[in-house]
Amino acid sequence: MDRTDRISPWLPAAALLVAALLSACATTGQPPAKAQPRAQIQDDAYGFTISEEARVSGDVRYDYDQALLFLERGELQNGIRLLEAVAEAAPGLSAPRIDLGIAYNHAGDLEAAERTLLLALEANPNHPIAHNELGIVYRKRGRFAEARQSYEAALAVYAGYHYARRNLAVLCDLYLADMQCALENYEAYMTTVTADDEVTMWMKDLQLRMDQGAQ
Amino acid sequence: MQRTVASSLRFADTFPDHEQAPVVLSAAAEDLYELQDYPMAIAAAHKLIERYPGADPVLLRSGWAVVANSSIDIAAYQDAEHAYVNLLALTPPDDESRPAIVDGLAASIYKQGEEANLAEDYRAAADHFLRIKVIAPTSGIRTAAEYDAAAALIRLENWTEAAAVLEEFRQSHAEHELGPEATKQLAFIYREDGQIERSAAEHECIAAEATDAELAREALLTAGELYDEIAVTADAIRVFERYVSEYPRPLDIALETRTRLAEIYKAEVDYENYYAQLIAIVGIDRDAAEERTDRSRYLASRAALVMAEQGFERFAALELSQPFEESLAAKQREMDAALAAFDGLVAYEVAEVTAAATYYIAEIYQEFSTALIESERPTNLTDAERADYEMVIEEEAYPFEERAIDVHTRNFELLTAGIYNQWVQKSLDRLAVVMPGRYAKNEISGGFVGSIDSYAYRMPNAPPIGIEPGDGAEEDAGAVEATAQIAGDVDDGSD
């Protein structure tokens, strides 16, 4: 008796199998742990000093200084390229990323500016420069509420930080149409400088508009 | 039957040299298989095969068949493969059972591939599936096995080998029902492997082969997008043109494709086709009636804006020269046409385009004012007449400048409605020039940190370090320094 006639073909659901194979999701890895900064801020009535613990080689310091030379000479792309390498080598330091953010802003790449400034704030959440520069970037991107939060974050670290104070006043004046906020911040700004004729004129114009609005 | 089997087995064991012993043992093995006692059936069949290698080939074939089928039933696929190989060796080439045996052999290998797949050993799975075309090339399962081998190789992201398998599959089995699926897989593989142009070509094949119209449409669009992705411009244009011609619906996708096509033509400096696409986009959206969508309206508004900008350029290019009345009439005609075009954009109710239109309307007034001021003066005027002429020109120009400022201001006030875009900013930039005291207010930057690990900030009105507050002369010195710092730090305002 020959049993070979019993053999029946298996019917592979090939298409279904392939579909299942192709629909499988890729796994995502965990992000690498960020280097935690050790930053200190000391302040007094007239200013503040931020110090971050820097465990970087002399080469990295040299590259940072070279990058700044490029940026000060207006060689943005060279400066950015070098600063990216410095930031990679010193992920726990905020300065390279703040400077990168400023450079990207000057280069017109607001997306990169925002990204690097946010990374700077991960390294040091209390750096007024990073908050102020991020506020400028947000304003340019039309994200006014976030710009306001950024300026206010800078001022929360140091209320006399005149850059953020004036920028907040301008934001309220021009973009948020919040004249009271603008006036208060112009006034606060004027207490941080000995004179600013331009802002004095703006305040007069603002007061005039507020008076006209009140009538 | 069980008694008969037991008796047969006892007989075979008691009288192994009896001439009927192989026959009895064969019958017992087959009966055990019928009784679904597969381990016992295999044992009996093996006893037959091993004890009587010189037995009648028919008996040996039956024994191997019992081993093969029983092994399949207990999922011992490797044993089954071994049995089928031996069974096949004993089967004459012209035996009518041979195709079924080949299929069985292929199936036993295929099942090993499936098991490897389940164990996520895709390399082994692919190897098993690929063995079938060598060991059992005439089996019915071969084509599916090759396809599944490719699937396993795709799981391994072994794009080169997977592509080779599928290319061979498609060539060897041109009419196979899995052919279109293979083409899809090849399109996917080439895309993953970075062979975008080949992937695009495969997508074109999919579009040509597909019986499903929706699949064909999607494949053709993907082909165009892939050519576009790698800047194979001629093919991108060819495929996109074919797409918009063959698939005017869905409306949004057709207009998106035309928009991209227009961008490509523009990049190619083919302005004739660029404007032709823009005109088509505006017309198709306008004629779509109730089919119009927010997206189609948006795309049409963007296209219409570009066309209106052309009108602005024509208007702005006209200078007011002598004879004045003639050039003035020509410029006014272009001005009216441009204003009408930008006014028409407002009907799209797209915030960005409305802001752009408003900006340009202001610019039209500004340009007309400037053109009047800079117009060519008649040469035959007396000094008194020239003075009067200048006064009239200024009086005519001034209201247009006022209207320009008013329209820019209204555009900038869109901010209060939560609308901010480049056009609103451009109006602000204009206002900053004409009304700097009110609008020229740029942010100030603290500048580069300057030190990799420290930053020191002093307020501009801080006394010099080491000087106590209250020393008037020293504070004055600080004021100059502070003012200089502010002036130097003003952000360039480039947006």
Q: Cβ distance B191 to B226 under 8 Å? A: yes
Closest by CA position to B106, among listed B79, B128, B86: B128
Q: CB-based contact (8 Å) between B316 and chain A?
A: no
Q: Which of B30, B145, B482 is nearest residue A1 as measured by Cβ atoms?
A: B30
Percent of chain B with pLDDT over 70: 94
Residues B240 and B227: their CA atoms lie apart, in Å, by 10
pLDDT score recorded for residue B466: 67
CA distances to A63, B1, B24, B43 from B4, rounded to whole Å, are 94, 5, 10, 17
Residue B428 — pLDDT band, cuts 50, 70, 90? very high
Which among A7, A99, A162 has the least Cβ separation from residue B448?
A99
Q: At A42, which helix (H) or strand (E)? A: strand A39-44
Which residue of chain B has the CA closest to A66?
A: B450
Closest residue by Cα to residue B359 from B436, B288, B413: B413
Q: What is the largest CA-CA distance in chain A?
A: 112
**pLDDT(B71) > 90:** yes
Q: Which CATH class is domain B194-292?
A: mainly alpha
Tokens of B138: 């005439």
What pLDDT is recorded for position B467? 61
The pLDDT value given to residue B162: 95
What are the chain A neighbours of B145 within 8 Å (beta carbons)?
Answer: 12
Structure tokens at B486: 């502010």
Interface contact A128-B452, CB threshold 8 A: no
How much is the average pLDDT of A44-51? 92
Chain B residue with the nearest C-alpha to that of A178: B416
Q: Which B residues, 431 through 450, put their C-beta within 8 Å of a C-beta on chain A? A: 437-439, 441-450
Q: Compute the nearest-CA separation of A23 from chain B (Å).
A: 11
Q: What is the pLDDT of residue A4?
A: 35
The pLDDT-based confidence of B479 (bands split at 50, 70, 90) is very low
B406 or A56, which is more confident: B406
Q: Any chain A CB within 8 A of the CB of B30?
A: yes
Residue of B404, B402, B405, B423 lying closest to B414 (CA atoms): B423
Residue A200 one-letter amino acid: T
Test mutation, A1, A124, A151, A206, chain B, max B CBs within 10 A: A1
Report the candidate in B153, B148, B188 with the shortest Cα–Cα distance to residue B203.
B188
Q: Do A205 and B446 touch (CB under 8 A)?
A: no
pLDDT band for position A54 (cuts 50, 70, 90): confident
CA distances from B96 to A4, A9, A114, B67, B99 (A): 10, 16, 76, 20, 7
User: Does residue B476 carry a pLDDT above 70?
Assistant: no
Residue B442 Cα, gap to closest chain A Cα (Å): 7
Q: What pLDDT was estimated at residue B482? A: 36
pLDDT at A84 over 60: yes
Gap from B276 CA to chain A (nearest CA, Å): 33
Put simply, the answer to whether A177 touches B439 (Cβ < 8 Å) is no
Contacts of A71 in chain B (CB under 8 A): 448
Chain A interface, mutation test: which of B26, B419, B443, most A Cβ atoms within 10 Å?
Answer: B443
- Per-residue pLDDT, B316: 97
CB pairs A-B closer than 8 Å: 206
CA distance B287 to B279: 12
Query: Would the CB atoms of A7 and B69 count as touching at under 8 Å?
Result: yes
Residue B432 CA to residue A174 CA, distance in Å, equals 11
Give the nearest partner residue to B453 out of A52, A177, A205, using CB atoms: A52
- pLDDT(A53) > 90: no
Answer whether A102 sits within 8 Å of B447, measured CB to CB: yes
Helical axes B271-287 vs B294-317, angle rounded to 10°: 130
Asked if residue B431 has pLDDT above 90, the reply is yes
Say what the pTM is.
0.68
Please tell me whether the interface predicted TM-score (ipTM) of this complex is above 0.85.
no
Nearest CA in chain B to A24: B155
Q: Which of A51, A140, A194 sits opposite B475 (nearest CB)?
A: A194
Q: Which of B410, B459, B483, B486 to mutate to test the interface with A (most CBs of A within 10 A)?
A: B459
The 10s digit of each residue's pLDDT in A156-184 is 999 999 999 999 999 999 999 999 999 99
Q: How far apart are CA B370 and CA B363, in angstroms?
A: 10
DSSP assignment, residue A174? I
Residues 6+ apart with CB under 8 A from B221: B243, B247, B253, B257
Residue B59, pLDDT above cutoff 70: yes
Specify which residues B490 forms β-bridges with: B444
B138 CB within 8 Å of a chain A CB: no
- CA atoms within 13 A of residue B122's CA, in its CB half-sphere: 16
What percent of chain A lies above the pLDDT cut of 70?
83
Residues of A in contact with B479 (CB under 8 A): 194-195
Are A108 and B494 in contact (CB < 8 Å)?
yes
Q: Using alpha carbons only, what angle is made at residue A126 by residues A123 and A132, rounded to the nearest 5 degrees? A: 100
**Mean pLDDT of all residues in B219-231:** 96
With 90 as the cut, is the pLDDT of residue B181 above it?
no
A193 and B483 within 8 Å at the Cβ level: the answer is: yes
Contact B228, B260 (CB under 8 A): yes
Q: Is the pLDDT of residue B362 over 90?
A: yes
Q: What is the pLDDT of residue B243?
A: 97
**Would the pLDDT of A33 be above 90?**
no
CATH code, residues A56-125: 1.25.40.10
Chain centroid to CA A112:
9
> How much is the pLDDT for B469?
52
CB atoms B420 and A144 under 8 Å: yes
**Alpha carbons A148 and B225: distance in angstroms, whole number:** 41
With an 8 Å Cβ cutoff, are B460 and A2 in contact?
no
**Cβ–Cβ below 8 Å for A163 and B445:** yes
| Shortest Cα distance, chain B CAs vs residue A151, angstroms | 11
- Closest residue by Cα to residue B87 from B52, B57, B43, B56: B57
Q: Is residue B286 very low, low, confident or very high in pLDDT (cuts 50, 70, 90)?
A: very high
CA angle A205, A208, A210 (to 5 degrees): 110
Distance between A5 CA and the closest CA of chain B, angstroms:
6
Query: Average pLDDT of B238-257?
Result: 97
- Average of pLDDT values for B463-477? 53
pLDDT (tens digit per residue) in B197-215: 999 999 999 999 888 899 9
In angstroms, the CA B492 to CA A131 distance is 18
3-state secondary structure chain B: CHHHHHHHHHHHHHCCCCCCHHHHHHHHHHHHHHCCCHHHHHHHHHHHHHHCCCCCHHHHHHHHHHHHHHHHHCCCHHHHHHHHHHHHHCCCCCCCCHHHHHHHHHHHHHHHHHHHHHCCCHHHHHHHHHHHHHHCCCCCCHHHHHHHHHHHHHHCCCHHHHHHHHHHHHHHCCCCCCHHHHHHHHHHHHHHCCCHHHHHHHHHHHHHHCCCHHHHHHHHHHHHHHHHHCCCHHHHHHHHHHHHHHCCCCHHHHHHHHHHHHHHHHHCCCHHHHHHHHHHHHHHHHHCHHHCCHHHHHHHHHHHHHHHHHHHHHHHHCCCCCCHHHHHHHHHHHHHHHHHHHHHHHHHCCHHHHHHHHHHHHHHHHHHHHHHHCCCCCCCCCHHHHHHHHHHHHHHHHHHHHHHHHHHHHHHHHHHHCCCCHHHHHHHHHHHHHCHHHHCCCCECCCCCCCCCEEEEECCCCCCCCCCCCCHHHHHHHHHHHHHHHHHHECCCCC
pLDDT at A107: 95
Q: Determine the longest span between alpha carbons in chain B, in angstroms.
A: 146
Looking at the partner chain, which of A50, A106, A160 has a beta carbon nearest the beta carbon of B454? Answer: A50
Of B65, B69, B456, the CB nearest to A47: B456
Q: How far apart, in whole angstroms, are the C-alpha atoms of residue B116 and residue B125?
A: 5
Find residues 77-96 of chain B whose CB sits inside 8 Å of chain A. Answer: 87, 91
Confidence band for A10, pLDDT divided at 50, 70 and 90: very low
Cβ <8 Å between A14 and B151 = yes
Q: Which of A2, A7, A62, A136 to mutate to test the interface with B (most CBs of B within 10 A)?
A: A7
Question: What is the CATH class of A131-215?
Answer: mainly alpha
Q: What's the mean pLDDT when you consider all of chain B?
A: 91
Q: Which chain B residues touch A106 with a CB distance below 8 Å?
A: 492, 494
pLDDT bucket at B177, cuts 50 / 70 / 90: confident
Instruction: Name the residue ranges covered by the structural domains of chain A.
Output: 56-125, 131-215
Indicate if the pLDDT at residue B489 is higher than 50: no
Which residue did the predictor score with more confidence, A83 or A20? Answer: A83
Containing H/E element for A168? helix A162-170
Residue A68 and residue B151: Cβ atoms within 8 Å?
Answer: no
Q: Are B166 and B182 in contact (CB under 8 A)?
A: yes
Which of A41-45, A131-135, B428-432 is predicted least confidently? A41-45
8 Å CB contact between B12 and B27: no
pLDDT average, residue stretch B110-130: 97
Residue of B95, B421, B449, B492 to mutate, interface with A, max A Cβ within 10 Å: B449
With a cut of 60, say whether residue B115 has pLDDT above it.
yes
CA angle B336, B339, B345 (to 5 degrees): 145
Mutate one of B61, B411, B438, B448 to test the A interface: name it (highest A CB count within 10 A).
Answer: B448
Question: Mean pLDDT, to the nearest integer, of B324-330?
Answer: 95
**A131-215 shares the fold of A56-125:** yes
Which carries the bigger pLDDT value, residue B7 or residue B305? B305
B260 part of contact set with chain A, CB < 8 Å: no
| pLDDT for residue A213 | 82
Q: Is 80 exceeded by the pLDDT of residue A186?
A: yes
Closest CA in chain A for residue B463: A46
